[in-house]
Amino acid sequence: MALLKRLAEGDRPAVNFTLDGQPASALLGDTVLTAVLTCSEHLRGSDFSAEPRAGFCLMGACQDCWVRLGDGRRVRACSTLLETDHHITREPGRSL
Amino acid sequence: MKPVVIIGAGPAGIRAAQTLVAQGVRPVLLDEAARGGGQIYRRQPANFKRSAVKLYGFEARKAKALHQTLDTLREQLDYRPDTLVWNAEADALDTLHEGRAARIEFSRVIVATGATDRILPVQGWTLPGVYSLGAAQIALKFQGCAIGERVVFAGSGPLLYLVAYQYAKAGAKVVAVLDSSPFSAQVRALPGLLSQPATLAKGIYYRSWLSAHGIPVHQGATLQRIDGEQRVRSLNWSDAKGEHQLACDAVAFAHGLRSETQLADLLGCEFAWNPLNRAWLPQRDRAGRSSVAEVYLAGDGAGIMGADAAEMAGERAALAVLEDNGHPIAPQRCVQLEQSLTRINTFRKGLEQAFIFPEHWAANTADEVMICRCEEVRAGDIRQVVREGHWEINRVKAHCRAGMGRCQGRMCGAATAEIIAGESQRAVSQIGRLRAQAPVKPLPFGLEVES
Amino acid sequence: MIEVDAIIIGGGIVGASAALFLSKAGRRVALLERDFCGSHSSGVNYGGVRRQGRPLSQLPLSQRAHEIWGQLPQLIGIDGEYQRSGHLKLARSLDDLRALQDYAASSQGFGLDLQLLDRTELRARFPWVGDVAVGASYCPDDGHANPRLVSPAFAQAARRHGAQVHEQCAVSAVEHDGQRFRVSSQSGLELHAPWLLNCAGAWAGRLAEQFGEAVPMHAGHPAMLVTEPLPLVMNASTGVEGGGIYARQVARGNCVLGGGQGFALDAARARPGQQAVIEILRQAVELYPFLEGAQAIRTWSGTEGYLPDRQPVIGHSSTQPGLLHAFGFAGAGFQIGPAVGQALTEIICNGAPSTSLDAFSITRFHSISVA
């Protein structure tokens, strides 16, 4: 299930990526956040109770949308544009 | 020679750059975003096709003009997008660009760091599907997406009606608008609001449009809680008539905006309590000069006045830089800008009356409500520390970690202050100011360093 | 006017623990803190609770402190996130490893139980340490704690035992009238006592100087940073022989790292500065490769007093009977602080400390001219 709903700009080329190892597809010009949340419902688990989080501010301020890319880099999903063959993994968080 | 540096390529930063370039100065313009424009005039990715009118509505002309200004100036600026300023010291800024750290020494700096939503948390606000009002707008403007299928807008401030209107217009299902300000407050605010009749008219238009399209708009309506397991399923709100439930899968909420003041703080600017913003703000004179000789402040980062004011304040601050550097400037232009800014400030006071701050928020917030979403600190944790005798906000932070996480208190700082004030029975102006600490945003290990 | 048995200036861990032990011994105590208790060095230090690596002269006192730390919850009412994780001192060269071996040999008999690890043993037991380390010395019962919580808790505990704790209470004048000390504060307090404890940290030099025994103390500003919460990896607090960075991981997952010097903003505030921060980030990924790609989310510094021999001054004034000094801990006062407070209490209650303080006498600076 998706969290975000596309309303406009639907005629863009598709971009393939993987999410937690599973193949997925989004559109050119999507942020990593848009790509993940148009095909699933969260971006990360919270640090101390592993609750699902899906970002909050979308402007690089709240720091609640960090995900990991295949090359080990960690990026803010809201301010990173999706690229072909991004291998995105979501960190589950930890329950203290 | 050390350059003049502008931090932030929003309305204030771009107008400041333009003003400097007009006098033959080549400033460095640093911006965290990939494309200039700031938040309110944020540009969509290059391959998106919607028109400016579709994106910015009544503000399309202003947005286009601002973007064109930046595009035209590009060659005359040292423009550095995708560049975070993570630290500031007496005469230097430390930046991070694509994993590389560098230092820029400045002769003068104009700080135009903008604002983020002011958040007063409710139970359930960390659930997927809950976003700030600004976030809801960015999802639509920047990505062509709604934050859900059935969206409720809540809180207060001019963005509330604007974003609800934009969503409905774009074809999203707007379930309701819950305005926490009572109708009576908005009537009282009218005299102040009449100082900017065009802006007032737009506000009235958005609301009327929503009502005319059958979207319920409730005033004096308080968001009580948001429920769901893995994502939003419903919310509860209340008004004088009682408590009500709404099914929805997304909520956007905020109570106005708060200034991004961390860099002004690290640069050593003196701060003063500002009752209108209900926040500590770096002090500035009418031209935008801070308490530090080389540091100038412009736009929402130094107090919320909106995009029109930011453009003017950016120009005014740049004129001050030029004046202080010995360039001849037109005094009548300065007077004109200052008068316009004063008029907008009158309007701003009206807005604050219309979208009145919910003074009772802290008292009505239950102990189990999460305040700091980074460190997962609840209202009760903060209150416990206050009961142990602490009341100064940095001390409370040291004891319970509210404001200590990745976002450095951006999301929870205002709310934490309200909770401390309520529990310690002090005015919110009397509990101290959350100090900024570098890095302003997270800084990765393993970065490369430019010598 | 308030009459007490002892006035303590400075609400750091030394002053606050003295206030606690004196109160528990039935003495009337007033503690004056210019800011908030534990808000300077005692509250913002790295949080190492370490005996390993200290000069041998400090080990008896440090060993006493070790016993006090073992009773922390009973003493101050919280665990302060104190854990005996062990302390691992890394060597980056064979010379450094030899220095660790020498220290282990000379500190035998002080109860540190040091274990020397060669490269193979180090890899096997602490696989998260980077290849730059060729060996280490491990002290199994050393550890770390949260200074933000522990230091203020000493003051709170003192208060519960009857000490008057005055925060945001800067001292404006101190004099001795031949009978007793008279201390007044900017807020208008006036206190009298036969004993005065100078526990004012980096700012203690002024009081010593007033009583005719100036010391060549300078302020230092250790740079610190903390990461976002990370999976638990580090099962020991670490340092590096010969200097460099130090690092630990707390139960919530954040790694705390320190190293290098920041700069003073004014007399009371300091910042780590860009250079020190970048240097910590650089060294950290060599020593602890798992940190590659992690984020530093906050940096800070404090103001700490350093004497030329990096040893503290603890004990009697040589010029003014009734005046006791305890300052200049050179960034290593957190672990030893409670034992210092206890030793000062013994001087007042028993006439002498049960652990010799001779090595820390202020008289060692009397022949040195102060710059």
Q: CB-based contact (8 Å) between C278 and chain B?
A: yes
Residues in chain B: 451
Tens digits of residue pLDDT in A11-21: 999 999 999 99
Just give the CATH number of B361-430. 1.10.10.1100
**Cα distances (angstroms) measured from residue C371 to each of A44, B195, C218, C319, C329:** 57, 64, 10, 20, 20
- The amino acid present at B303, given as its one-letter code, is G
CA distance B237 to chain A (A): 21
What mean pLDDT do residues B314-319 have?
A: 98
CA distance A74 to chain C (A): 7
Among B45, B376, B407, select the one facing A48 at the smallest CB separation: B376
Q: CB-based contact (8 Å) between B231 and chain A?
A: yes
Give the A-side interface with B, CB within 8 Å.
3-10, 12, 28-31, 34, 37-38, 41-42, 46-49, 51-64, 66, 73-74, 78-79, 81
Report the candidate in B311, B225, B291, B250 with the shortest Cα–Cα distance to residue B40. B311
Compute φ and ψ for C26, nearest 5 degrees.
90, 10
Q: Do C297 and B445 touch (CB under 8 A)?
A: no
Give the dihedral of Cα atoms B148, B154, B158, B159; nearest 10 deg. Answer: -20
Give the C-side interface with A, CB within 8 Å.
228-229, 231, 251-253, 292-295
Where are the domains positioned within chain B? 4-116+258-327, 119-255, 361-430
Q: CB-based contact (8 Å) between C254 and chain B?
A: no
The CATH class of B119-255 is: alpha beta
What is the per-residue pLDDT for A26?
98
What is the per-residue pLDDT for C243?
86
* Tokens standing for residue A95: 């329950």
How sure is the predictor about C267, in pLDDT bands with cuts at 50, 70 and 90? confident
- CA-nearest residue of chain C to B100? C278
Fold of C87-140+222-301: D-Amino Acid Oxidase; Chain A, domain 2 (3.30.9)
Distance CA B26, CA B220 (A): 50
How sure is the predictor about B257, in pLDDT bands with cuts at 50, 70 and 90? very high
CB C13 within 8 A of CB C65: no
Q: Cβ contacts (< 8 Å) between A63 and chain B: which residues?
A: 374, 405-407, 441-442
Q: Specify the DSSP class assigned to residue B299.
A: G
CB C257 within 8 A of CB C281: no
- State yes or no: pLDDT of B387 exceeds 90: yes
Residue C252: CB atoms within 10 Å: 17
Interface test with B, best of C35, C230, C257, C297 (most B CBs within 10 A): C297
Contacting subunits of A (3+ beta carbon pairs below 8 A): B, C
- State yes or no: pLDDT of B112 exceeds 50: yes
How sure is the predictor about C369, in pLDDT bands with cuts at 50, 70 and 90? low
User: Does residue A79 sit within a domain?
Assistant: yes
Q: Cβ contacts (< 8 Å) between A47 and chain C: which residues?
A: 228-229, 252-253
- The amino acid present at B261, given as its one-letter code, is T
In B278-389 the beta strands, taken as DSSP E runs, fall at 279-282, 295-297, 370-372, 377-378
Q: CB-based contact (8 Å) between B402 and chain A?
A: no
- State yes or no: pLDDT of C105 exceeds 50: yes
Tens digits of residue pLDDT in C15-35: 999 999 999 999 999 999 999
Compute φ and ψ for C370, nearest 5 degrees.
-95, 125
Residue range of the domain that includes A82: 13-87
What mean pLDDT do residues C57-64 have?
A: 98
CA distance C204 to chain A (A): 41
Distance CA B263, CA B89 (A): 9
Tens digits of residue pLDDT in C213-250: 999 999 999 999 999 999 999 999 999 999 889 999 99
Q: Do A73 and C293 touch (CB under 8 A)?
A: yes
Distance CA B136, CA B130 (A): 9
Tens digits of residue pLDDT in C150-159: 999 999 999 9
What CATH number corresponds to the domain at position A27? 3.10.20.740
Q: CB-based contact (8 Å) between C251 and chain B?
A: no
Q: Cβ contacts (< 8 Å) between B388 and chain C: which residues?
A: 156
Tens digits of residue pLDDT in B83-100: 999 999 989 999 999 999
Superfamily name and number for B4-116+258-327: FAD/NAD(P)-binding domain (3.50.50.60)
Distance CA B122, CA A65 (A): 20
B99-102: long-range pairs with CB below 8 Å, 24+ = B99/A73, B99/B444, B99/B447, B99/B448, B100/B447, B100/B448, B100/B449, B100/B450, B101/B443, B101/B447, B101/B448, B101/B449, B101/B450, B101/C278, B102/B449, B102/B450
- CA-nearest residue of chain A to B232? A3
- State yes or no: pLDDT of C368 exceeds 60: no
Q: Under DSSP, is residue B155 helix (H, G, I), strand (E, B) or coil?
A: strand
- State yes or no: pLDDT of B403 exceeds 70: yes
DSSP H or E stretch at residue C153: helix C147-160
Among C148, C156, C300, select the one facing B437 at the smallest CB separation: C300
Tens digits of residue pLDDT in B226-243: 999 999 999 999 999 999
Distance CA C21, CA B79 (A): 61
- CA-nearest residue of chain A to C290? A72
Q: Looking at chain C, which residues constitute the CATH 3.30.9.10 domain(s)? A: 87-140+222-301
CB B274 within 8 A of CB B266: no
* Tokens standing for residue C220: 């230092």
Q: How many CA atoms lie within 13 A of B357 on its CB side?
A: 18
CB B438 within 8 A of CB C223: no
CB C74 within 8 A of CB C173: no
Just give the CATH number of C2-47+148-215+309-365. 3.50.50.60
How sure is the predictor about B197, in pLDDT bands with cuts at 50, 70 and 90? confident
Residue B432: CB atoms within 10 Å: 17
- CA-nearest residue of chain B to C150? B399
- State yes or no: pLDDT of C371 exceeds 50: no
What mean pLDDT do residues B304-329 have?
A: 97
Interface test with B, best of C250, C274, C285, C291 (most B CBs within 10 A): C274
Q: Where are the alpha helices (DSSP H) in B170-254?
A: 183-193, 197-212
Q: Do B132 and A56 touch (CB under 8 A)?
A: yes
What is the per-residue pLDDT for B202?
87
- The amino acid present at B435, given as its one-letter code, is R
Distance CA C263, CA C244 (A): 17
What is the per-residue pLDDT for B352?
86
pTM, entire model: 0.96
Among C231, C252, C295, select the one facing A48 at the smallest CB separation: C252
Distance CA A4, CA B147 (A): 5
Least confident of B19-28, B198-207, B220-229, B370-379: B198-207
- On the question of a cis peptide bond just before residue B439, with omega within 30 degrees of 0, the verdict is yes
CA distance B245 to chain C (A): 37
